[in-house]
Amino acid sequence: MSTSWWLAPLFRQRYPGVRLDSTRMVVPSGEFATAGAAMGHLDLALWLMNQASPALASTVARYLIVDARPSQAPYMIPDHLARADPMVERFERWARARLAQGFSLDAAAHALATSTRTLQRRIEAVLGKSPLSYFQDLRVERAVHLLQSSQLDIEAIAAEVGYVDGATLRTLLRRRLGRGVKEIRAGAAEA
């Protein structure tokens, strides 16, 4: 099941038994496919076309000027999701202040005066991911911001967000965003 990223916390609260993937635009499951986003109907229609004819789907996407968006992740606003729950909001503030130092679930739980189990459950219920995964998202977000808004080299940015070297950060950016450092910086120049 998919839904728009900003509805994910409410959806998870109302339907805890449903497996939700708010990071993907279209989620096929057996005979069904769901789409989540403001323009999800276009994503779903293109996905259906692609099942029959990838060439036709590509042509239609070009005519509609629809980009290839396999994931909603680049469009998500983590601040909005975190604000959906006071504990998650406090965790986000704690995490953003410690990106360079690394992550410890025990330290986070202690700082928030809660148990690790409660923190883990709350983050997963609201955000649909583990505290460590969210921490990694915040690191990636900060790294992208620095790539787009500063002239710092990749080694300096890696150190700022808690990675030992630029190679590790490059690999993470490629894996998470499907883009490299040059592409991310070029995207800022085009915007």
The whole-number pLDDT of residue 117 equals 97
Give the contacts of 1 (CB within 8 A, at least 6 positions apart).
18, 19, 20, 21, 27, 29, 34
The yes or no reply on domain 134-190 and CATH 3.10.20.30 is: no
How do residues 157-169 score in pLDDT, each as one tens digit? 999 999 999 999 9
**SS3 (DSSP) at 140:** helix
The whole-number pLDDT of residue 75 equals 46
Q: Give the integer Cα–Cα distance in Å for 25 and 73.
A: 9
CA distances from 190 to 102, 181, 184 (A): 32, 14, 10
Q: Domain residue spans in the chain?
A: 5-73, 84-132, 134-190
The whole-number pLDDT of residue 143 equals 92
Query: Packing angle between helix 86-96 and helix 116-127, nearest 10 degrees?
Result: 100
How do residues 133-183 score in pLDDT, each as one tens digit? 999 989 998 999 899 899 999 999 999 999 999 999 999 898 888 888 998
Per-chain mean pLDDT for the chain? 81
Q: What angle (nearest 5°) sits at the alpha carbon of residue 159, between those of residues 127 and 5? A: 20
Positions in the chain short of pLDDT 50: 72, 75, 191
On whether the pTM is more than 0.75, the answer is: no
User: For residue 40, what are its two tokens?
Assistant: 């999800």
Q: Nearest 10 degrees: CA dihedral of 69, 73, 75, 76?
A: 150
